[in-house]
């Protein structure tokens, strides 16, 4: 067990609720492997402003932010990066010379498993918080068309972007979009544990998925989801949400420690915790 002393540096994650966060598992596994005298602690934060002031007072080195504070934290920071501005949310904060600096590593996390692919027509299912990172990621990939499918606040979503490739649609248009897509991303929680039998698409939709398409589900439990199984049956390549989770965490830990991060150790720690089979 790790020996905590007066010299141990503190990192953390804030959210409410926080007890289900997987971040302490992967970060502490990596910290141990790196031989660093750090500890990463979950904090249930209900009142954001005094918590952030307190973090400065106790010399916290940096922290992750999860629901519901990803947007609300922005006015409490001295600076945010272009990635955080594009998404309108911060998930990683570190200490700068004149205060806290915030960024969003979800784009890096989303893009990591797509490095060897070059999709041009993306269909994004859902238009909530994670969809914003996905749209920013698709724009960075150079997708010529990014079609976002949602059931509410579509005009608001479209207006938040100055992106000619982006178009928003209602779900009844999905059938027409799928045959042209080479990347289909589920950003809805449909199919997430314990609703293993649910999928954001019907079997009829699935038949319209191209054989050379990539189906990407941001959900990591179950693994694979029904959506990924439907796509695989059409010959499509499946990517699950675990890699995005690992890679957004690795990008954050690299910012805090300024060192190369053992990504495989983080991945294995999560796979062990979730009871998933190792892919290697
Ligand atoms: P969110 O902000 O609540 O967005 C969810 C989106 O799904 C919204 O557009 C919502 O529409 C839509 N939706 C929910 N239920 C639906 C239904 N029954 N039919 C149609 N649309 C529905 O949530 P989020 O933060 O973006 O997270 C979404 C998912 O991504 C979660 O499963 C989360 O665990 C996962 N995620 C994974 C990672 C990762 O690292 N792998 C990172 C972030 C998120 P309305 O707004 O109309 O309700």
Is 70 one of the catalytic residues?
Answer: yes
Ligand 1 atom having least distance to the Cα of 171: 20
By the 10 Å C-beta count (0-12 exposed, 13-18 middle, 19+ buried), 20 is classed as exposed
Pocket test for ligand 1, best of 158, 218, 222, 252 (most atoms within 8 A of CB): 218
Q: Is the peptide bond before 194 cis (omega within 30 degrees of 0)?
A: yes
- Residues 100, 124: Cα–Cα separation, whole Å: 32
Q: Locate tokens 């990924």: which residue?
A: 228
Shortest CA distance to 181 belongs to which of 154, 143, 152?
143
- Residues 38, 27: Cα–Cα separation, whole Å: 10
Decide: pTM greater than 0.75: yes
By the 10 Å C-beta count (0-12 exposed, 13-18 middle, 19+ buried), 120 is classed as middle
CA pseudo-torsion sign 215, 218, 220, 221: negative
Shortest CA distance to 146 belongs to which of 233, 105, 127?
127
Instruction: Report whether 128 belongs to an annotated binding site.
Output: yes
**Are the C-beta atoms of 228 and 240 separated by less than 8 Å?**
yes
Q: Count Cβ atoms below 10 Å from residue 91 Cβ, excluding itself.
A: 28
Ligand 1 atom having least distance to the Cα of 245: 40
Both structure tokens of 201: 């698409």
Report whether residue 220 contacts ligand 1, using a CB cutoff of 6 Å.
yes
Instruction: Report whether 66 belongs to an annotated binding site.
Output: yes
- Give me the tens of pLDDT residue by residue for the chain, a chain 280 residues long: 789 999 999 999 999 999 999 999 999 999 999 999 999 999 999 999 999 999 999 999 999 999 999 999 999 999 999 999 989 999 999 999 999 999 999 999 999 999 899 999 999 999 998 999 999 999 999 999 999 999 999 999 999 999 999 999 999 999 999 999 999 999 999 999 899 999 999 999 999 999 999 999 999 999 999 999 999 999 999 999 999 999 999 999 999 999 999 999 999 999 999 987 654 4
């Amino acid at each position: 067990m790790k020996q905590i002393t007066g010299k141990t540096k503190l990192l953390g994650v804030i959210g409410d609720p926080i007890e289900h966060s997987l971040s302490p598992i992967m970060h502490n596994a990596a910290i141990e492997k790196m031989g660093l005298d750090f500890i990463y602690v979950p904090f249930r934060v209900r009142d954001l402003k005094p918590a952030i002031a307190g973090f400065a007072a106790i010399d916290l080195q940096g922290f992750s932010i999860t629901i519901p504070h990803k947007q609300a934290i922005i006015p409490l920071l001295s600076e945010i990066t272009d990635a955080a501005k594009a998404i309108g949310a911060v998930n990683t904060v570190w200490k700068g010379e004149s205060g806290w600096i915030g960024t969003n590593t979800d784009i890096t996390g989303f893009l990591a498993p797509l490095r060897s692919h070059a999709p041009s027509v993306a269909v994004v299912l859902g238009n909530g918080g994670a969809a914003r990172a996905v749209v920013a990621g698709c724009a960075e990939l150079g997708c010529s068309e990014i079609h976002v499918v949602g059931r509410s606040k579509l005009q608001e979503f479209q207006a938040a972007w100055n992106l000619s490739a982006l178009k928003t649609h209602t779900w009844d248009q999905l059938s027409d979009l799928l045959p042209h897509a080479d990347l289909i991303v589920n950003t809805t929680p449909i199919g997430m544990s314990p609703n293993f039998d649910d999928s954001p698409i019907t079997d009829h939709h699935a038949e319209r998925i191209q054989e050379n398409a990539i189906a990407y589900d941001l959900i990591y439990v179950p693994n694979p989801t029904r959506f990924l199984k439907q796509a695989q049956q059409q010959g499509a390549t499946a990517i699950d949400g675990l890699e995005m989770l690992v890679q957004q965490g690795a990008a954050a830990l690299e910012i805090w420690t300024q060192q190369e991060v053992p990504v495989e150790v983080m991945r294995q720690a999560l796979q062990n915790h979730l009871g998933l089979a190792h892919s290697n």
